[in-house]
Amino acid sequence: MAETTVQQQIMSESPAIEAYKLGLLQSAKGLADIPVDIPERTFVGPTGLQNTALTTAAGLGTYQPFLDAAASQIAGGLGQLGNAATQFQATTAAPTMAEISTYMNPYQQAVIDEIKSQFAQQSDLAKAQAVKAGAFGGGREGVLQAELGKKEAQTIAQAQAANFAQALQQAQQQRAFQQQAAQGIGGLGVAQAQLGQGLAGLGQLGETLGQATSQFQFGLGEAQRQLGQQEEDIGYQAALQKAYEPYQRLGFLSDIYKGAPTSQQTLSTVTAPSVSPLVQAAGLGIAGLSGLAGAKTAGLF
């Protein structure tokens, strides 16, 4: 019969290592069966400064009454300017006779009557002298009467001209007063419009300062909120790490076990003559029993 040689190599962990690994698996199974208590993450809401800033921001638009008052003042100023322009334009033309007549001397006719009366007396005196001299109706008396009439007309004309000049001067002075009044009204209109612009600027300034204050308060509040959020996040991360700490320990052990060396067992048989299949099967059974006995000796069972 032919002879055969059989050699078999078995790779396995040492019993102690396998026991540790089994314990690790059991611990991991037990830990995986328990739900992880994940901490609740907290969001830090607006701070007191931010709430104050938001409340202040809700009051934006307080400049509107200033704008309304400004619009009213400007409209009033424009109205005054319109009235002033109308009055000033009316004073640019020359005074009318109706305006001049209001300043005429109301006793002008009495003055004229007095002038006529005086010249009538002079005429009567001249006539009396001419009669006394026997020259009444003569050439000299006629020349004298004509001269008296001419002087009378000149005197009346001078009185009328003086009265007209005085009336014209007073009418022109009244026009000057009216122009000054129109300019004054125009100045008041400009001042009123400027007051309206000032009110509008004041309202805008108040609104701008209010917005700047609100933004500054909100920025400070945001800085406080971020610091509070960072503090909450640090606590959250610490609680989260604490919850997963057992898993980290198991992972640490698992990494160590992965690097543990394995033991080798070699089972060799010597050469033997060939046997019948029945005898060969019986021999394999005996070899199996021998391997089982070896495993028990190693403490695997």
Q: Are residues 174 and 265 in the same domain?
A: no
Structural domain includes residue 128: yes
Q: Are residues 80 and 162 in the same domain?
A: yes
Structural domain includes residue 263: yes
Q: For residue 3, what pLDDT is reported?
A: 57
Structural domain includes residue 42: no
- Beta carbons within 8 Å of 66's beta carbon, 6+ residues apart: 199, 200, 202, 203, 204, 206
Q: Are residues 101 and 157 in the same domain?
A: yes
Q: For residue 286, what pLDDT is reported?
A: 40
Angle between helices 64-90 and 139-243 (to 10 degrees): 170
- Cα–Cα distances (Å) from 276 to 272, 282, 289, in that order, read 12, 10, 20
- Cα–Cα distances (Å) from 176 to 132, 172, 187, 222, 243, in that order, read 59, 6, 16, 68, 99
Q: Are residues 8 and 132 in the same domain?
A: no
Q: For residue 234, what pLDDT is reported?
A: 92
Question: What are the DSSP calls for 162-204, one per residue?
Answer: HHHHHHHHHHHHHHHHHHHHHHHHHHHHHHHHHHHHHHHHHHH
Q: Are residues 185 and 71 in the same domain?
A: yes
pLDDT(267) > 50: no
For residue 166, the tally of other CB atoms under 10 A from its CB is: 14
Domain end position, chosen among 171, 195, 219: 195
Q: For residue 264, what pLDDT is reported?
A: 46
pLDDT(228) > 60: yes
Contact yes or no for 202/34 (Cβ under 8 A)? no
Number of domains in the chain: 2
Which residue, 97, 46, 63, is CA-closest to 221? 46
Q: For residue 75, what pLDDT is reported?
A: 83
Q: Are residues 67 and 21 in the same domain?
A: no
Structural domain includes residue 236: no
Q: How confident is the model at residue 230 (pLDDT cuts 50, 70, 90)?
A: very high
Q: Which domain holds residue 277?
A: 3-36+245-298
Distance CA 135, CA 139 (A): 8
Q: Are residues 105 and 168 in the same domain?
A: yes
Regarding pTM above 0.95, the answer is: no
Quick: pLDDT tens for 112-149: 877 878 877 777 777 777 666 665 555 666 677 778 77
Contact yes or no for 119/68 (Cβ under 8 A)? no
Q: Are residues 93 and 160 in the same domain?
A: yes
Domain end position, chosen among 153, 176, 195: 195
Main-chain dihedrals φ then ψ at residue 93, nearest 5 degrees: -85, 160
Q: Are residues 76 and 120 in the same domain?
A: yes
Q: Where is pLDDT greater, at 6 or 293?
A: 6
Structural domain includes residue 22: yes
Q: Where is pLDDT greater, at 228 or 253?
A: 228
Quick: pLDDT tens for 241-255: 888 888 888 888 788
Q: For residue 185, what pLDDT is reported?
A: 82
- Beta carbons within 8 Å of 102's beta carbon, 6+ residues apart: 167, 171
Structural domain includes residue 29: yes
**Stretch 210-233: mean pLDDT, rounded?**
87
Contact yes or no for 193/77 (Cβ under 8 A)? yes
Q: Are residues 12 and 76 in the same domain?
A: no
Q: How confident is the model at residue 289 (pLDDT cuts 50, 70, 90)?
A: very low
Main-chain dihedrals φ then ψ at residue 113, nearest 5 degrees: -60, -40
Q: Are residues 169 and 135 in the same domain?
A: yes
Q: For residue 61, what pLDDT is reported?
A: 66
Q: Where is pLDDT greater, at 241 or 108?
A: 241
Structural domain includes residue 239: no
Q: Are residues 161 and 73 in the same domain?
A: yes
**Stretch 227-233: mean pLDDT, rounded?**
90
pLDDT(52) > 70: yes
Contact yes or no for 28/249 (Cβ under 8 A)? no
Structural domain includes residue 202: no
